[in-house]
């Protein structure tokens, strides 16, 4: 693996930028398209995530040239995931290179997934992720957050956001803040109907596996 190329330059043809997430890591997460931006919002809510890197390395694929994946997700228990974010209409054009990259990446003990708009925007979950992350970037007094977290320990999960807000006698936006700040978790749909207060072990089972959370295009 070689260092990735420099990224995120202004372009008149695509959306580029950075997403700050100081509660998770010190460096911003870059994106070079609106689809990548929508993916990052969902990835930042993935319970096992510990750190995320944009264009983390470059692979030499021989006759197929070089390949730079879009994201590397460092996760709990070293169950790391490499993700290619690609519009569905372009998959067939790049299928040989993606298959070769999959072999090379999985040969290094990493999981490789390809995510398209179908997985990212399934049932509007990317929009829900955006709402949650806007709340996460707001400010709540530390004393209030600590009080909410202390009272969470006596509750039985999962439950809905509305039920949790009622049990804690607080507002829904504050529950979204805790979800965005990764104190609470949602199922992969990011629906408000199921909120979890899970451990790292639980985050590797069932709903919180990489395949369940991110899906993966058939290619």
- pLDDT tens, residue by residue, 67-103: 999 999 999 877 899 999 999 999 999 999 999 999 9
pLDDT value at position 70?
97
Q: Give whole-number Cα distances, 181 to 67, 104, 105, 202, in Å.
A: 33, 34, 30, 18
User: Mean pLDDT over all residues of the chain?
Assistant: 89
Q: Which CATH code is given to the segment(s) 2-123+208-214?
A: 3.40.1350.10
pLDDT value at position 15?
75
Over range 157-168, report the average pLDDT. 96
Q: How far apart are CA 120 and CA 54, in angstroms?
A: 17
Q: pTM of the entire structure?
A: 0.89
- Do the beta carbons of residue 84 and residue 114 sit within 8 Å? yes
- Do the beta carbons of residue 85 and residue 35 sit within 8 Å? yes
Q: Give whole-number Cα distances, 3 to 25, 37, 58, 84, in Å.
A: 20, 22, 6, 17
- Do the beta carbons of residue 44 and residue 20 sit within 8 Å? no
Q: Where in the chain is the domain with CATH 3.40.1350.10?
A: 2-123+208-214
> Sign (positive/negative) of CA torsion 136, 79, 214, 84?
positive
pLDDT value at position 4?
52
Residue 200 clears pLDDT 50, i.e. is over it: no
- State the number of CA atoms in the 13 A half-sphere of 88 facing the CB: 9
pLDDT value at position 204?
45
DSSP 3-state percent helix, strand, coil across the chain (nearest 5): 40, 20, 40
Residue identified by tokens 């070769």 is 100
pLDDT value at position 135?
97
Q: Please state the φ and ψ torsions of residue 23, each to the nearest 5 degrees.
A: -70, -15
Query: Could you give the percent of the chain with pLDDT greater than 90?
Result: 80
- pLDDT tens, residue by residue, 173-189: 999 999 999 999 999 99
pLDDT value at position 216?
72
Q: How far apart are CA 174 and CA 165, in angstroms?
A: 8
The lowest-confidence range among 1-10, 41-50, 83-92, 142-151 is: 1-10
- Do the beta carbons of residue 36 and residue 70 sit within 8 Å? yes
- pLDDT tens, residue by residue, 105-144: 999 999 999 999 999 999 999 999 999 999 999 999 999 9
């Amino acid at each position: 693996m070689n260092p990735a190329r420099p990224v995120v330059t202004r372009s008149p043809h695509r959306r580029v930028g950075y997403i700050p997430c100081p509660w998770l890591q010190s460096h911003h997460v870059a994106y070079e398209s609106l689809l990548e931006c929508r993916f990052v919002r969902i990835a930042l809510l993935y319970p096992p995530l510990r750190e995320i890197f944009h264009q983390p390395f470059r692979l030499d694929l021989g006759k197929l040239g070089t390949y730079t994946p879009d994201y590397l997700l460092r996760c709990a228990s070293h169950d790391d995931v490499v993700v290619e974010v690609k519009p569905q209409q372009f998959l067939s054009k790049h299928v040989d290179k993606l298959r070769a990259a999959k072999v090379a990446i999985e040969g290094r003990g990493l999981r490789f997934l390809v995510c398209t708009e179908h997985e990212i925007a399934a049932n509007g979950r990317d929009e829900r992720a955006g709402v949650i992350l806007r709340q996460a970037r707001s400010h709540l007094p530390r004393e209030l957050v600590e009080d909410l977290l202390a009272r969470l320990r006596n509750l039985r999960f999962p439950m809905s956001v509305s039920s949790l807000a009622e049990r804690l006698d607080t507002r829904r936006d504050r529950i979204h803040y805790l979800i965005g700040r990764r104190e609470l978790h949602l199922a992969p749909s990011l629906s408000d109907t199921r909120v979890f207060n899970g451990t790292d072990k639980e985050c590797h089972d069932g709903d919180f596996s990489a395949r369940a959370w991110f899906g993966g295009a058939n290619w």
